Amino acid sequence: SNGLEWSPDGSRAYYNDTPTQRIDVFDYDGESGLNRRRSFVDLSAEAERPDGLTVDEEGGVWTALNGAGEVRRYTPDSTLDEVVEVPARKVTACTFGGPDLDQLFITTSREDLEPGDDPLAGSLFRAVVGMRGLPVHEFAG
């Protein structure tokens, strides 16, 4: 399990299921909680491994693809909309930050890499993608 984020209106929760190579979506309401789990994007044909994810103010779902060296944005109807290439293969997570939440920060890993392999792995990257993220959700408990 990796990545969990809500749609802007709170009616959906997106979830990266790395072993199945899928981004799933649940419906959500306060009375019944999370329900109706289904595939949002299936990446198994490409053998891609979705890791961390975030959602922008338009409801676009950004997912880090560990091993692919990229972050992808999918529209709320699951259409691939944008690809941000990262100069390190093991992309682990992405989130919006900065004073206006208009910068996409991308983390990468060096796990299981030999010295000198993938030299920028383990770095933090920043991309300006023309979208804004959502404010952090406060923990209610």
The answer on pLDDT for 61 being more than 70 is yes
The model carries a pTM of 0.94
The residues, ordered by sequence, that sit 6+ positions from 19 with a Cβ below 8 Å of its Cβ are none
Put the strands of the sheet holding 80-85 in their side by side order. 50-55, 61-65, 70-74, 80-85
The pair of three-digit structure tokens given for residue 109, joined into one six-digit string: 């890993």
- Cβ burial 33-59 (10 Å sphere, 16+ → b, else e): eeeeeeebbebeeeebbbbbbbbbeeb
What is the per-residue pLDDT across 11-47, written as a single tens digit (0 to 9) for each? Answer: 999 999 999 999 999 999 989 999 999 999 999 999 9
What is the per-residue pLDDT across 96-107, written as a single tens digit (0 to 9) for each? Answer: 999 999 999 999
What is the per-residue pLDDT across 109-119, written as a single tens digit (0 to 9) for each? Answer: 999 999 999 99
